[in-house]
């Protein structure tokens, strides 16, 4: 499946070492002002080579829109776009033609399709997420009209963790560090850990926290279209994601009398003093901040010698070459935001279609 969404739909295409990555967005309402500079800024947050803790692959990731925009506004027709690949080193992957990399898509893609693009993982590469960022940027522009804001940050790298209460942090500081963590002291610890891991040819994982503010009450479709299920599905579609929790999540060591937060203030509005539900109850948004956490595994490509098997099932030894992230968290922050924004926009359009 290469298409995301119900009414706001993104179909993406392209491979890591192909000519380009791109997409077609369908369902964007007409008349939306398309801020090209903002979209490029979002892509710049995701692009490689932006700091010393990310892959050194140099790509401008410049987006070219092909259709669906006229005089700076969406026309309501499909928005086509493309981002050219400029800095492939495909020869770095020649040694992978007949071996399977551990924990990668090599074996499963071969078994499913009978063929695979071994250059950087082909379609399974995280470079595919460029299309998601474009779709998410346009969704953010749409949500901004309703004062809905989506913001994410790195909250864990390995054993270095921020507290779970996002309200304790100044989220305006997220972009002030290359690791995209709002706590400057913890950010420096994270950077040092990533650099240490990278120097050894290894990788490390962590957690991204995302908050969505200003979501109206009533988004979500019972029983199988619950809003948190849609958010979970969108997050789990991101490369390297291994877990999703919203609200209190797995912090279940409480009694019901301690965590029930479904009560109203004197003005008839839901209380904001507690929010264990994560802004969603019975699969429907309740007007509070929606917040969730996304767990990313350590990148599977490590610059160490590993034991594996070849395409004939024989034991083999492999050592990856090329340019890779030691930790995907910094570059994954805008991807998490993009998927969240597209999900919320899609559910807003669904709600409007029912009225």
pLDDT of residue 306: 81
Gap between the terminal Cα atoms of the chain: 30
pLDDT of residue 269: 59
In order, the DSSP letters of 32-68 are -B--HHHHHHHHHHHSTTSSTTS--------EEE-SS
Confidence band, pLDDT 50/70/90 cuts, at residue 148: very high
d(CA 295, CA 264) in angstroms, rounded, equals 33
Domain that holds residue 13: 3-353
Q: What are the φ and ψ backbone dihedral angles of 161, each rounded to 5 degrees?
A: -130, 145
Structural domains counted in the chain? 1
Q: What are the φ and ψ backbone dihedral angles of 35, each rounded to 5 degrees?
A: -85, 95
Q: Note the pLDDT tens digit of each residue in 6-64.
A: 999 999 999 887 888 999 999 999 999 999 999 999 999 998 766 677 766 667 889 99
pLDDT of residue 265: 57
Q: Note the pLDDT tens digit of each residue in 205-235.
A: 999 999 999 999 999 998 999 999 999 999 9
**Nearest C-alpha neighbor of 294 from the set 242, 230, 233, 227:** 242
**Residue for token pair 């479709």:** 221
Neighbour count for residue 77 (Cβ, 10 Å):
13
Q: Please state, for a pLDDT cut of 70, what percent of the chain lies above it.
A: 90
pLDDT of residue 270: 56
Q: Note the pLDDT tens digit of each residue in 52-105.
A: 777 666 678 899 999 999 999 999 999 999 999 876 555 556 667 778 888 788
pLDDT of residue 322: 66
CATH classification of the domain holding 74 = 3.60.150.10
Q: Which residue has the higher pLDDT, 95 or 147?
A: 147
Q: Which residue has the higher pLDDT, 247 or 311?
A: 247
Average pLDDT over residues 106-130: 81
**Residue for token pair 């950077």:** 191
């Amino acid at each position: 499946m290469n298409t995301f969404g119900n009414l706001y739909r993104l179909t993406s295409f392209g491979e890591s070492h192909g000519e380009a990555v791109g997409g077609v967005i369908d369902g964007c309402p007409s008349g939306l002002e398309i801020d090209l500079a903002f979209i490029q800024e979002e892509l710049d947050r995701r692009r490689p080579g932006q700091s010393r803790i990310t892959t050194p692959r140099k790509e401008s990731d410049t987006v070219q829109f092909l259709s669906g925009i006229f005089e700076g506004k969406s026309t309501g027709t499909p928005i086509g776009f493309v981002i050219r690949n400029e800095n492939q080193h495909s020869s770095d992957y020649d040694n992978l033609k007949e071996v399977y990399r551990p924990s990668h898509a090599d074996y499963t893609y071969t078994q499913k399709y009978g063929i695979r693009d071994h250059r950087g993982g082909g379609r399974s590469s995280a470079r595919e997420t460029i299309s998601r960022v474009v779709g998410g940027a346009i969704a953010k522009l749409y949500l901004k009209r309703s004062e809905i804001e989506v913001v994410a940050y790195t909250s864990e790298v390995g054993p270095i963790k921020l507290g779970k209460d996002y309200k304790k942090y100044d989220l305006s500081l997220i972009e002030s560090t290359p690791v995209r963590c709002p706590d400057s002291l913890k950010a420096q610890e994270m950077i040092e850990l990533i650099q240490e891991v990278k120097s050894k040819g290894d990788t490390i994982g962590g957690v991204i926290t995302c908050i969505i503010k200003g979501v109206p009450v009533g988004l979500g479709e019972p029983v199988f279209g619950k809003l948190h299920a849609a958010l979970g599905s969108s997050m789990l579609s991101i490369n390297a994601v291994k877990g999703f929790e919203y609200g209190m999540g797995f912090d279940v060591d409480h009694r019901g009398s301690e965590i029930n937060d479904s009560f109203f203030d004197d003005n008839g509005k839901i209380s904001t003093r507690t929010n264990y539900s994560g802004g969603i109850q019975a699969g429907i948004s309740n007007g509070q901040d929606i917040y969730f956490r996304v767990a990313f595994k350590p990148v599977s490509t490590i610059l160490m010698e590993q034991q594996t098997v070849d395409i004939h099932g024989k034991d083999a030894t492999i050592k990856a070459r090329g340019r890779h992230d030691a930790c995907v968290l910094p570059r994954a922050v805008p991807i998490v935001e993009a998927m969240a924004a597209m999900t919320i926009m899609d559910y807003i359009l669904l709600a409007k279609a029912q009225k």
